[in-house]
Structure 1
Amino acid sequence: MTKIPELLAPAGNWESFVAAVENGADAVYLGAKTLGARAYAGNFTLEEIREAIDYAHLRGVKVFVTVNTLVKDQQMKNAAKLLCSLSEYGVDAVIVQDIGLLSLAKELVPELPIHASTQMTIHNTEGVRFLEELGVKRVVLAREMSLEEIRSVKQATNVEIETFVHGALCISYSGQCLLSSMIGGRSGNRGHCAQPCRKMYELEMDGQVVETEGPYLLSPKDLNTTEMLPQLIEAGVESFKIEGRMKRPEYVAGVVSTYRNLIDRYMEDPDSYFVSPEESLLLEQLFNRDFTDVYLKGDSTRGMMSREQPYNRGVVAGTVVGYNEEERRIIVELSGELELGDGIGAEGLEDAGENITRIVLNGKEVDSATTGDVVEVPFFEEVPSGSLIYRTLDRSLMESLKKTFTSPKPIRKVPVNLKSDISAGSVLKLKMEDNDGNSVSVKSDYVVEPAQKKPTAEEQIQQQFSKLGNSVFEPVDMYVNVTGDVFIPIKVLNDIRNLAVSRLEAARVEKWHRSPKGKCKVPKVTCEEVDVDKPLLVVSVDDSQRLEAAIEGGADVIYVGGEVFRGREPLELKEAVERCRSEGRKIYVNTPKIVSDEAMGRIQKTLELAKELGVDGAVVSNYGTFRLVKEAGMAVIADSPMNVFNLHSYAAMKEFGADSIVLSPEMSLEQVEDVAQCGPVECIIHGRLEVMESRYCMVGDLFGSGSGCPRFCEDGEFELYDEKEYCFPLLMDSDCRMHVLNSKELCMVENLGKLVRAGVSAVRIEARTMDASMVKKVTRRYRNVLDGKKKAGKCKDITDGYTAGHYMRGVL
């Protein structure tokens, strides 16, 4: 039998929370004032969270709290206190990104269910299995996964699966975007994303500007899965998640109520499922950058971008046919409704908008106008004739939706049964029970009297018991049995009814509360003894020329492989092993950051060959590949995309079997030093860091046609330029994923001594994006500095446009 999926709604503030509950959400996710991935939402104090949990549980709704950021060591104590408080309050689950915090939660509050955030970049079956073995209850899959991939994961694992069904899309895999961080120090992994993907960019091919229909080249359309809900339900997905903690409460109300209706419609009659034009229009009116579902369909990513408009475009309201210059009013032929108080915007003027204060029709001011009318409305500047006018806000719709979460009378009701046997001489009693197994029996101090004059009728008693007012309860069945003629004052009936209501409310809420944890201390991380005389020099390469350059430059360790970038011949592993062994260098096989289930078979064959050839181990960037390498019995290095950001995440990965760990490039030098005292760590010291990996291929979208890959990316060099004219090189890999590199090259040669003194075990040059001559030059410079043969010199002697990354500044 098909299971009804949970409808999970966002709440950035109290009004949005109530809107979600009252409009049919089964669960609501919200954030505390700290440690949530939406730091710029209103969010909730601890007392507000406690109140929200009780409010939701009273109405049969679950609450999940987001603790889904990377946590600094100095924040871990407060994070632990938050977890313990949430457990005590009865929260239904916490949503976590940081693997260290996840491990800490399992230790401190084992009774608290954990959901793995989409920020953990779980995108393959092996990754889900890894978390399942850790005791994670639910995994929020990467938005990039297709329906077929989701179905495959669901069939192969036993954890709950959650997928996004509506709202904004990140262009990068969540948890793998460093663009905001590297540009301005506001880390998306810490909840402070500045959304640089919604800014203007220019694409160049071989130095020539590529003409595009709009400048917002990294801004995707919004997700809308209304047409695919049946397939997602049949795939067995347990939870449908709506994005939107930064959205207004009316948006939450409208989207939740629409998806509630659609889910219920399908469950009632799968063969008659439909999405009405009115429902589609409502979703479009609430907020849209146009809609897409290409990821779920597994299609080409062409057409998924909102290049002309990065903000809400609303719905088409009409076409400009003229301009009244004297009155500064545009003349519009309407193709839809328009009324006073609506918001409008104009095609081509994305920053322009007006709230309608006047509508002039046939020379007279009116409150509203409709399709076919030619009206004049104030607008701050002339708009060319033929331009579309969009209604970006529907005042009547907003007012209607607002009533759902501001009315004192709740929309969402809990059905209850009432029972009372009444006879003269007996104490008045009332039993009230719900459909969830909660039951209360209350009695009054009043002893029922025989009627002296007019008896209290059974119907009158039922009527008083039914008056549940603004409580959440709704009587659906009532049994009142009166023996003989009795008299009961109305006040007594009201009092015992109100007592039953308050007791049942308490019963529904208090059963979820957990015992206080007492002192909630963060256990001290056990460190191993570290004695590093001089860190190893590691160079990551992907072809024979770069390999040779790294060896000649003096690398101690070579990482070979990884993503196969278009236009390059992949390095033969056997050749690389023989070359490294002949020179006495260690060699590790590198694996891609993103590995689909389809690609996992190829990775497994590579690992088998690597083991046969006697490589020293493998470098991995996701939990699925990590599990695969451990099962193969190979030494494993956890690379920086696994976001090891603190002592606890370091300790967790060591416990899981990592032999060495590459620290997050978002860590400061001080943070690095703290972790380096506890075991072998590696830091990236030179190269263009990847700031984004995307399933979207910009080159294929702009130059391709049809369904196949045009491989146009092999015919030239592509670069993105932002509004400040910083250049971000683009690389496309053999799986048609796009890699965006930082505009500046990381260079730590001037500060290498500080990293050495911090105790790091290895330092790495990311050389896959350099030409071979530069690989040799850079490697030789760091080799000489490490060996004390040369002074560090200046970064400008090595490269143009460099940065020390976050080592000297850290991130928000």
Structure 2
Amino acid sequence: MHKPEIMSPAGYWPQLHAAIEAGADAVYFGLTHFTARAKVGFTLDELPEVMRTLHRRGVKGYVTFNTLVFDHELRTAARTLAAIAAAGADAIIVQDLGIAALAHQIVPDLPIHGSTQMSITSAEGVAFAARYGVSRVVLARELSLAEVAAIRSRSPIELEIFVHGALCVSYSGQCFSSEAWGGRSANRGQCAQACRLPYELIVDGKPRPLGAARYLLSPGDLAAIDDMTTIARLGVSALKIEGRYKDAEYVAITTNAYRRALDAVWAGLPSDLTVADRLYLEQVYSRGLGPHFLRGTNHQAVVEGRAPRHRGLLMGRVVRVRADAIIIIPERGREAAPLKPGDGVVFDAADWRSPEEPEEGGRIFTVEPVGDGLLAIRFAKGAINPRRIRAGDLLWRTSDPQTERIARPFVQAAAPARRQPVRVTALVRAGAPLELHWSLIAQPSLTVTVQSPTPLTTAQNRPLDETTLREQLGRLGDTPYQLTELNAVIEGNPFVPVSLLNQLRRQATAALAELQGRPPAMNILDPEQVLDTMLAAVAPSAPPDTAQIHLLIRSPDQLEAAIALQPASITLDYLDLEGLKPAVTRVRAAGIAVRVAAPRVLKPEDERVARFLRKLNVPLLVRSTGLLDRLRDDPTVELTGDFSLNAANILTADLLLRSGLQRLTLTHDLNAEQIAHLAERIGGSRLEAIVYHHLPVFHTEHCVFCRFLSTGTSYKDCGRPCERHHVALRDTHGRAHPVIADVGCRNTVFGAEAQEASKYLDRWRAAGIAHYRLEFVHETAAQITAVTEAFRAYLQEEIDAAELGRRWRQSAPQGVTEGSFFVPANYQYIPLM
């Protein structure tokens, strides 16, 4: 078992330097393109200097290449991958499976890490990624430590887990809210954070008051610092701190805390982290810290719902408001970091104030005790409006000058705060040149030798001794090194001037830094030739099919209407597993092909679900690479890949189709024209296009039903409100987005409006697409019938696409939208040459 890396984020140079000084083993960062944090990053021209900076300090650098890549970008992506390797990157972090395969072909020696956006939650998912060159997988943040241990026991490659920072409410890689509502793809680095907006809970058609809980999809932040003893022994390779949008102070404080905690545990020592250290972790940035999913499921703990942004530390509650001061009762446990002048605070009035109203707050001018344990806090004249503050409001400290002082040694280090231990072997003989062999203890293969230009003479008065030698060689000043071990052979009473020792020390440290900064030798193949070879190997297009309608329904109430329509197939996407068997029998009896939709997430404990699905002996709609890996070599089961496999380019589509899929639905990150072009390249009969559905905007482990309609913590004690109630989340625009739970109690929030492709159907048919799916969420039998019959009339050329669109607008419960199908007016197709 190896000691895991502490892995820190860097948006740019200040954060990178802070991570180095605070003790990171590795830093991850993006370039200005192909990165999931599009607002920050280094240019490709800066990358060689970034890697030299890191390597000279003994720190690894991992480049995030973690977006889905479109066809017209493949050639640029191939060249960029080669340049990243040439710059000396220690690994790339990749979401797109096709890009992983491409990178592995271009640079076989470059480690590839599968991003958490691959949505991997099982050992099978890890194995699938490993097939395409991935050497480490960043597991989904929704796994418990026990589940991580189970995956680790069966994993053929390294694993990495998040230990600190913001949580997405949706499984990473499975969020389409930004795409649906803003035309900005989260899988392309443009997350709009719709999860941080206020929503109203609608239960069975009526609003459900929730008091201060307004932000129903905004999780607290992850903190695993108190679980380090367990985490250190899991056998994972890296502990990841989230935060490429965070400032250098955040990077410094979090990195240093986890560095110290891990080092103590690994050495078998008690942690030296104080109460104040833990408070400053929360102070520097948090929405409220907790272990959340790492300790198992507790739906009452993940989303508190009062606020969506940084809160810092809860410092107290307002007791009364005076004309000259606000009187608060302090929060217990804050004695190590009390309120003081200069602190920035905010008054949390979520109990009574609208989410749209700005909060009251400012910097404290004075703090003084007023008896009975109460404090009076005052602000500069005009800094706050006391009329907007009420008794009962919570007081949060959002900024603290003391936090800045704690971070300063790492953020503004005059000399390296973190040094690398070195070993020096000295051969000091009168009559021979002085030889010094310098090597890094952590990397013994990195060794430099320096020697005096002339032989040493014999000392007349003061020959060199080991004490003097150690003292002079240990004066490493502003270098990143620390003399830890000296092995000296001193013979013949040699005379060595101090100036010579200083000169050789400077030569050695400069040579050692230069050696460390060199990029490792890698075999980099011609990226364009590799890409051309892979494109040439794409399976040839299959002959075109006749147009077919496939329906997907989500409740037994919709089944009879679907059967009556006699489509080519019916896909059952049910909450209740047991309800599937009679439904399968019913569809088969009607002479219709039946298919069952698998869950998007299968964890180690979901083995029974996978076995059940296999025993149904029906075709499956596969939504995870873990299930695909399990079934890929089974010729008895027919598999269709769903959108959640995130195929955005021809390489990934071909890779997935070669993995046992009969057909594939492309990711919702593609617009309608991109779908058409990819169909023309790979063969329209190999694709299944969704032409009418409610976009699944969030897919989350957090259960809205359990959190807000029960007092339970999981399916074991929640009372299963998902089986009795229809729930929707109404946004500030008045749209009610349906929420449905799956067999694993995970929730999917669907877009209120139906996304429909009527405007693009003529184009899709010309591109050879013949398999079309209509998906229903909360539609009635009459609406299902109207939507399907209109589409059938279009396929039979009884109506045109414009009339189809008009009929769908009439049938959809909350209207329709182009959503992710939308093609901008300035869109230009760039062919993949």
* Residue in structure 2 matching 1:654, options 648, 657, 669: 657
Question: How many Å apart are 1:294 and its aligned residue?
Answer: 3.5
Decide whether aligned partners of structure 1 residues 571 and 782 sit closer, same or farther in structure 2, where only a CA change above 3 A counts: farther
* Residue in structure 2 matching 1:759, options 760, 763, 768: 768
Partner in structure 2 of residue 69 of structure 1: 67
> Aligned partners of 1:108, 1:573: CA distance in 2, in Å?
48
Higher mean alpha-carbon deviation, 664-673 vs 795-804, is at 795-804
Decide whether aligned partners of structure 1 residues 3 and 650 sit closer, same or farther in structure 2, where only a CA change above 3 A counts: same
Equivalence map 1:95-110=2 (5 Å): 95-110=93-108
Higher mean alpha-carbon deviation, 715-724 vs 438-447, is at 438-447
Question: How many Å apart are 1:126 and its aligned residue?
Answer: 1.8
Question: How many Å apart are 1:177 and its aligned residue?
Answer: 0.8
> Aligned partners of 1:339, 1:292: CA distance in 2, in Å?
26
> Aligned partners of 1:126, 1:737: CA distance in 2, in Å?
20
Partner in structure 2 of residue 673 of structure 1: 676
Partner in structure 2 of residue 509 of structure 1: 517
Partner in structure 2 of residue 145 of structure 1: 143
Equivalence map 1:17-28=2 (5 Å): 17-28=16-27
> Aligned partners of 2:301, 2:489: CA distance in 1, in Å?
67
In the alignment, is residue 598 of structure 1 matched against residue 598 of structure 2? no
Higher mean alpha-carbon deviation, 797-806 vs 524-533, is at 524-533
Decide whether aligned partners of structure 1 residues 780 and 432 sit closer, same or farther in structure 2, where only a CA change above 3 A counts: same
Query: In structure 1, the residue corresponding to 2:653 is in which secondary structure?
Result: helix
Query: In structure 1, the residue corresponding to 2:35 is in which secondary structure?
Result: coil
* Residue in structure 2 matching 1:704, options 691, 703, 710: 710
* Residue in structure 1 matching 2:588, options 578, 583, 588: 578
The C-alpha deviation readout for 1:664-701, integer Å capped at 9, x for no partner, is 12211221122102121111000212111211111221
Assess if the C-alpha contact under 8 Å between 1:544 and 1:576 holds in 2.
no
> Aligned partners of 2:11, 2:557: CA distance in 1, in Å?
52
Decide whether aligned partners of structure 1 residues 218 and 544 sit closer, same or farther in structure 2, where only a CA change above 3 A counts: closer
Question: How many Å apart are 1:62 and its aligned residue?
Answer: 1.7
Question: How many Å apart are 1:464 and its aligned residue?
Answer: 3.0
Partner in structure 1 of residue 831 of structure 2: none
Assess if the C-alpha contact under 8 Å between 2:458 and 2:495 holds in 1.
yes
The C-alpha deviation readout for 1:562-592, integer Å capped at 9, x for no partner, is 34269x9445255145335x3xx44333222
Decide whether aligned partners of structure 1 residues 209 and 485 sit closer, same or farther in structure 2, where only a CA change above 3 A counts: same
In the alignment, is residue 618 of structure 1 matched against residue 620 of structure 2? yes
> Aligned partners of 1:486, 1:232: CA distance in 2, in Å?
53
Assess if the C-alpha contact under 8 Å between 1:339 and 1:356 holds in 2.
no
Q: Counterpart amino acid of 2:500?
A: V
Query: In structure 2, the residue corresponding to 1:672 is in which secondary structure?
Result: helix
CA RMSD of aligned residues (A): 2.9
Question: How many Å apart are 1:737 and its aligned residue?
Answer: 1.8
> Aligned partners of 2:524, 2:722: CA distance in 1, in Å?
58
Partner in structure 2 of residue 798 of structure 1: 811
Query: In structure 2, the residue corresponding to 1:151 is in which secondary structure?
Result: helix
Query: In structure 2, the residue corresponding to 1:716 is in which secondary structure?
Result: coil
Question: How many Å apart are 1:239 and its aligned residue?
Answer: 1.8
Partner in structure 2 of residue 416 of structure 1: 422
Q: Counterpart amino acid of 1:602?
A: V
Decide whether aligned partners of structure 1 residues 744 and 481 sit closer, same or farther in structure 2, where only a CA change above 3 A counts: same
Higher mean alpha-carbon deviation, 568-577 vs 717-726, is at 568-577
Decide whether aligned partners of structure 1 residues 357 and 290 sit closer, same or farther in structure 2, where only a CA change above 3 A counts: closer
* Residue in structure 2 matching 1:555, options 567, 589, 596: 567
Higher mean alpha-carbon deviation, 511-520 vs 288-297, is at 511-520
> Aligned partners of 2:217, 2:579: CA distance in 1, in Å?
28
Question: How many Å apart are 1:340 and its aligned residue?
Answer: 4.2
Assess if the C-alpha contact under 8 Å between 1:418 and 1:430 holds in 2.
yes
Partner in structure 1 of residue 251 of structure 2: 252
Query: In structure 2, the residue corresponding to 1:392 is in which secondary structure?
Result: strand
Segments of 5+ residues of structure 2 without an aligned counterpart are 828-833
* Residue in structure 1 matching 2:384, options 377, 380, 384: 380
Partner in structure 2 of residue 638 of structure 1: 641
* Residue in structure 1 matching 2:315, options 290, 293, 317: 317
Partner in structure 2 of residue 367 of structure 1: none
Query: In structure 1, the residue corresponding to 2:46 is in which secondary structure?
Result: helix
Query: In structure 2, the residue corresponding to 1:408 is in which secondary structure?
Result: coil
The C-alpha deviation readout for 1:290-348, integer Å capped at 9, x for no partner, is 223232222331232131121122223345455565x7x64556665334442211122
Decide whether aligned partners of structure 1 residues 107 and 479 sit closer, same or farther in structure 2, where only a CA change above 3 A counts: closer
Higher mean alpha-carbon deviation, 654-663 vs 347-356, is at 347-356
Q: Counterpart amino acid of 1:775?
A: I
In the alignment, is residue 6 of structure 1 matched against residue 5 of structure 2? yes
Query: In structure 1, the residue corresponding to 2:153 is in which secondary structure?
Result: helix
Partner in structure 2 of residue 345 of structure 1: 346
> Aligned partners of 1:380, 1:694: CA distance in 2, in Å?
39
> Aligned partners of 1:387, 1:801: CA distance in 2, in Å?
40
Higher mean alpha-carbon deviation, 347-356 vs 147-156, is at 347-356
Decide whether aligned partners of structure 1 residues 207 and 231 sit closer, same or farther in structure 2, where only a CA change above 3 A counts: same
Question: How many Å apart are 1:206 and its aligned residue?
Answer: 2.3
Higher mean alpha-carbon deviation, 196-205 vs 765-774, is at 765-774
* Residue in structure 2 matching 1:59, options 34, 57, 60: 57
Assess if the C-alpha contact under 8 Å between 2:570 and 2:594 holds in 1.
yes
* Residue in structure 1 matching 2:92, options 75, 91, 94: 94
> Aligned partners of 2:375, 2:448: CA distance in 1, in Å?
61
In the alignment, is residue 121 of structure 1 matched against residue 119 of structure 2? yes
Assess if the C-alpha contact under 8 Å between 1:688 and 1:769 holds in 2.
no
* Residue in structure 2 matching 1:564, options 575, 581, 584: 575
Q: Counterpart amino acid of 2:811?
A: I
* Residue in structure 2 matching 1:537, options 532, 535, 549: 549
* Residue in structure 2 matching 1:689, options 687, 695, 698: 695
> Aligned partners of 1:386, 1:307: CA distance in 2, in Å?
17
Partner in structure 1 of residue 822 of structure 2: 808
> Aligned partners of 1:193, 1:774: CA distance in 2, in Å?
33
Higher mean alpha-carbon deviation, 535-544 vs 621-630, is at 535-544
Decide whether aligned partners of structure 1 residues 174 and 511 sit closer, same or farther in structure 2, where only a CA change above 3 A counts: closer
> Aligned partners of 1:445, 1:360: CA distance in 2, in Å?
67
Higher mean alpha-carbon deviation, 379-388 vs 682-691, is at 379-388
Assess if the C-alpha contact under 8 Å between 2:300 and 2:712 holds in 1.
no
Decide whether aligned partners of structure 1 residues 204 and 513 sit closer, same or farther in structure 2, where only a CA change above 3 A counts: same
Decide whether aligned partners of structure 1 residues 76 and 304 sit closer, same or farther in structure 2, where only a CA change above 3 A counts: same
Higher mean alpha-carbon deviation, 248-257 vs 701-710, is at 701-710
Assess if the C-alpha contact under 8 Å between 1:456 and 1:486 holds in 2.
yes
Decide whether aligned partners of structure 1 residues 423 and 196 sit closer, same or farther in structure 2, where only a CA change above 3 A counts: same
Query: In structure 2, the residue corresponding to 1:500 is in which secondary structure?
Result: helix
Q: Counterpart amino acid of 2:810?
A: D
Question: How many Å apart are 1:744 and its aligned residue?
Answer: 0.8
Q: Counterpart amino acid of 2:750?
A: L
Question: How many Å apart are 1:183 and its aligned residue?
Answer: 0.9
The alignment-based identity, stated in percent, is 30
Partner in structure 1 of residue 793 of structure 2: 784
Partner in structure 2 of residue 444 of structure 1: 452
The C-alpha deviation readout for 1:482-538, integer Å capped at 9, x for no partner, is 555655554433222211112222233326343554554422353523543643221
* Residue in structure 1 matching 2:162, options 157, 161, 164: 164
> Aligned partners of 2:427, 2:758: CA distance in 1, in Å?
86
Query: In structure 2, the residue corresponding to 1:70 is in which secondary structure?
Result: coil
* Residue in structure 2 matching 1:464, options 467, 472, 492: 472
Decide whether aligned partners of structure 1 residues 442 and 691 sit closer, same or farther in structure 2, where only a CA change above 3 A counts: same
Partner in structure 2 of residue 201 of structure 1: 199
Query: In structure 1, the residue corresponding to 2:184 is in which secondary structure?
Result: coil
Question: How many Å apart are 1:250 and its aligned residue?
Answer: 0.8
The C-alpha deviation readout for 1:116-161, integer Å capped at 9, x for no partner, is 1111111122212222333321111111112222111111222212
> Aligned partners of 2:17, 2:408: CA distance in 1, in Å?
10
Assess if the C-alpha contact under 8 Å between 2:347 and 2:359 holds in 1.
yes
Partner in structure 1 of residue 397 of structure 2: 391
Partner in structure 2 of residue 368 of structure 1: none
Decide whether aligned partners of structure 1 residues 573 and 798 sit closer, same or farther in structure 2, where only a CA change above 3 A counts: closer
Higher mean alpha-carbon deviation, 311-320 vs 102-111, is at 311-320
Assess if the C-alpha contact under 8 Å between 2:339 and 2:367 holds in 1.
no
Assess if the C-alpha contact under 8 Å between 1:186 and 1:192 holds in 2.
yes
Q: Counterpart amino acid of 1:588?
A: R
> Aligned partners of 1:489, 1:273: CA distance in 2, in Å?
45
Assess if the C-alpha contact under 8 Å between 2:706 and 2:721 holds in 1.
yes
Query: In structure 2, the residue corresponding to 1:46 is in which secondary structure?
Result: coil
Relative to the length of structure 1, the TM-score reads 0.91
In the alignment, is residue 289 of structure 1 matched against residue 287 of structure 2? yes
